[in-house]
A and B are shown apart, each in its own frame.
Chain A
């Protein structure tokens, strides 16, 4: 597949038109998406109109930006003015936002062509995309398997080479796990690096938007386009945005790579996984990096800590779905409380309800200190673990996942699904940047390497990932099975 930066360069050199690129992406979506269900909404007219604007700008001699003519898919959690935004939920099935998320505006301001909205676990709660209220999405490497979640539609669309770039969100692993499952690059930036304005909130102290892309260079360009302070999000931080692409490296001499003792212990029993990651660390060493062993003693408490904090914040955020200002309303002549209860009962799926109950409990009178405040204190300890580790290393390299993509229905028990985020939750709680980069295959199924860095050191993290990507060339070793259907027939929406 052509990467986003290759498309941009061709468009700026007048070798390809943004319109023909958009038509190709739409044709490929029409050809493969019936097998994947990665998209909730495809927007062909909007995409073509935008592509024509890009072509006109280039013809005038303007440079539309870092993503000129690049087709982009956007997780259906980002508000898009005039385009239905469901968040994977019945309660927002017909919601048409009156404004766009800041990141959507920034992508478009850099010349991106949005082709559609991607499927997700309802309100971003899940690790398989099976919690979508509409349909599950499938993995392009094996359609009997899940694409991961919650940004599963975005991962599947990039993995299937429908688009080189998608936007996802990550609260406890929702970019990194699906990136690993679909063999794409997925970046969760530092908390505060990217504006959350216009993102439908799940857990406000953890949610962060990030790129899911064909390669590391594209991730660098997209992050540069979307990062930076936004007056509309008081938690976005006013730290200068570097030119990430110039930080990409080809060797790692002088880089100290932390290997997490506790994580290595937990994968030691799985020979295939242990061998794959040992190989990845070996590659980093061959590139010149020095491995050092580091400890994250509180990482084992990550799951419990996260499943108090995130549901607590979710129960508070989702209180807004009350059937009054937008979204579903179920009323049958009862009072306002009956309307609230029935609307929410009908509009939310099981996982969302489960988390609202847990979070409401953790915040309720008499339990707040024992659960919620205690979890916040352990969050402090977890952050201190990373601070200590980063005095000994420049980046951390560790597993992104504990297994390759699993089959639909394989994790019916919620806790077994929650455990999928074991290696990604600690970084989320500490607020530090972390990413997954394709690392290899187990039985032909993709597995990603996670790389984490101190807060606001995305450039360092991307630099290491780029050297690893160049040395391994994992993505180009194999074709996803849906690639057999690569030749699209006719552009258009399946909707």
Chain B
């Protein structure tokens, strides 16, 4: 099995996703098997190949800059865990 190159503690911080020690261990072992496949990609010479971000030939799709009907405040806030008047409420960000 391939070595997992992932620093799971670092990546889980980047992803804002707390993992238990057990999850970190399990993911490391499971993703190691996947890297057996992923590492095969290193053998291909792709230096002169263009990357494909998506397959359809669309570029810069614009629309007219006009105001159209959209969700009202009540509908937009209806699923929020916490609100304050017309606002979403989140824990303090700045001390």
Which residues of A pack against B, CB within 8 Å?
A: 94-96, 98-99, 191-192, 205, 231, 234-235, 237, 301, 303-305, 307-308, 315, 319, 322-329, 331, 334-342, 344-345, 348, 350, 353-354, 356-358, 360-361, 364, 367, 370-371, 373-381, 383, 413-415, 418, 429-431, 455
Contact between chains at A325 and B91 (CB < 8 Å): no
A419 smallest CB distance to B (angstroms): 9
**A99 and B71 contact, Cβ closer than 8 Å, known pairs A324-B81, A329-B82, A358-B31:** yes
Q: Which residues from A are CB-within-8-Å of B8?
A: 357
Contact between chains at A360 and B15 (CB < 8 Å): yes
**A376 and B91 contact, Cβ closer than 8 Å, known pairs A235-B58, A324-B81:** no
Contact between chains at B19 and A345 (CB < 8 Å): yes
**A415 and B46 contact, Cβ closer than 8 Å, known pairs A234-B58, A353-B17, A431-B54:** no
Contact between chains at B41 and A381 (CB < 8 Å): no
A99, A234, A344: the one contacting B18 at CB < 8 Å is: A344
Query: 24 pairs across A/B with beta carbons < 8 Å?
Result: A304-B38, A304-B41, A307-B38, A308-B41, A319-B16, A324-B81, A325-B88, A326-B79, A335-B91, A335-B92, A342-B18, A345-B20, A357-B8, A357-B11, A360-B15, A361-B6, A364-B14, A374-B42, A375-B41, A377-B46, A381-B49, A383-B52, A413-B33, A418-B34
Chain B minimum-CB-distance residue to A81: B75
Extra contacts besides A358-B31, A380-B52 (15): CB < 8 Å = A96-B78, A192-B55, A192-B58, A231-B63, A324-B80, A328-B81, A336-B90, A341-B17, A345-B18, A354-B31, A356-B17, A357-B11, A364-B11, A364-B14, A374-B44
A191, A308, A344: the one contacting B54 at CB < 8 Å is: A191
Chain A minimum-CB-distance residue to B74: A98
Contact between chains at B54 and A205 (CB < 8 Å): yes
Q: Is the interface of B mostly helix, strand, loop or mixed?
A: loop
Q: Which residues from A are CB-within-8-Å of B88?
A: 324-325
A370 smallest CB distance to B (angstroms): 8
Q: Which residues from B are CB-within-8-Å of A99?
A: 71
Q: Is B84 an interface residue (CB 8 A)?
A: no
A101 smallest CB distance to B (angstroms): 15
Contact between chains at B16 and A381 (CB < 8 Å): no
Contact between chains at A95 and B19 (CB < 8 Å): no
Q: Is B40 an interface residue (CB 8 A)?
A: yes
Chain A minimum-CB-distance residue to B32: A415
Chain A minimum-CB-distance residue to B7: A361
Contact between chains at A205 and B81 (CB < 8 Å): no
Count residues of chain B with CB under 8 A from any CB of chain A: 50
Q: Which residues from A are CB-within-8-Å of B51?
A: 373, 376-377, 379-380
Contact between chains at A339 and B90 (CB < 8 Å): yes
B81 smallest CB distance to A (angstroms): 4
B29 smallest CB distance to A (angstroms): 10
Q: Which residues from B are CB-within-8-Å of A305?
A: 41
B27, B56, B71: the one contacting A431 at CB < 8 Å is: B56
Q: Which residues from B are CB-within-8-Å of A367?
A: 5
Chain B minimum-CB-distance residue to A456: B56
A-B CB proximity, top 4 nearest: A431-B55, A376-B51, A326-B79, A329-B81
A191, A308, A415: the one contacting B55 at CB < 8 Å is: A191
A228 smallest CB distance to B (angstroms): 14
Contact between chains at B34 and A415 (CB < 8 Å): yes
B53 smallest CB distance to A (angstroms): 6
Contact between chains at A237 and B58 (CB < 8 Å): yes
Q: Which residues from A are CB-within-8-Å of B18?
A: 341-342, 344-345
Chain A minimum-CB-distance residue to B60: A234
Most-contacted residue by chain B among A231, A340, A358 (CB, 10 A): A358
A237, A331, A374: the one contacting B46 at CB < 8 Å is: A374
**A378 and B81 contact, Cβ closer than 8 Å, known pairs A235-B56, A341-B17, A357-B27:** no
A161 smallest CB distance to B (angstroms): 35
Contact between chains at B91 and A331 (CB < 8 Å): yes
Contact between chains at B6 and A358 (CB < 8 Å): yes
Contact between chains at B79 and A360 (CB < 8 Å): no
Chain B minimum-CB-distance residue to A315: B15
Chain A minimum-CB-distance residue to B55: A431
A94, A98, A431: the one contacting B76 at CB < 8 Å is: A98
Contact between chains at B56 and A192 (CB < 8 Å): yes
Q: Which residues from B are CB-within-8-Å of A350?
A: 23, 26
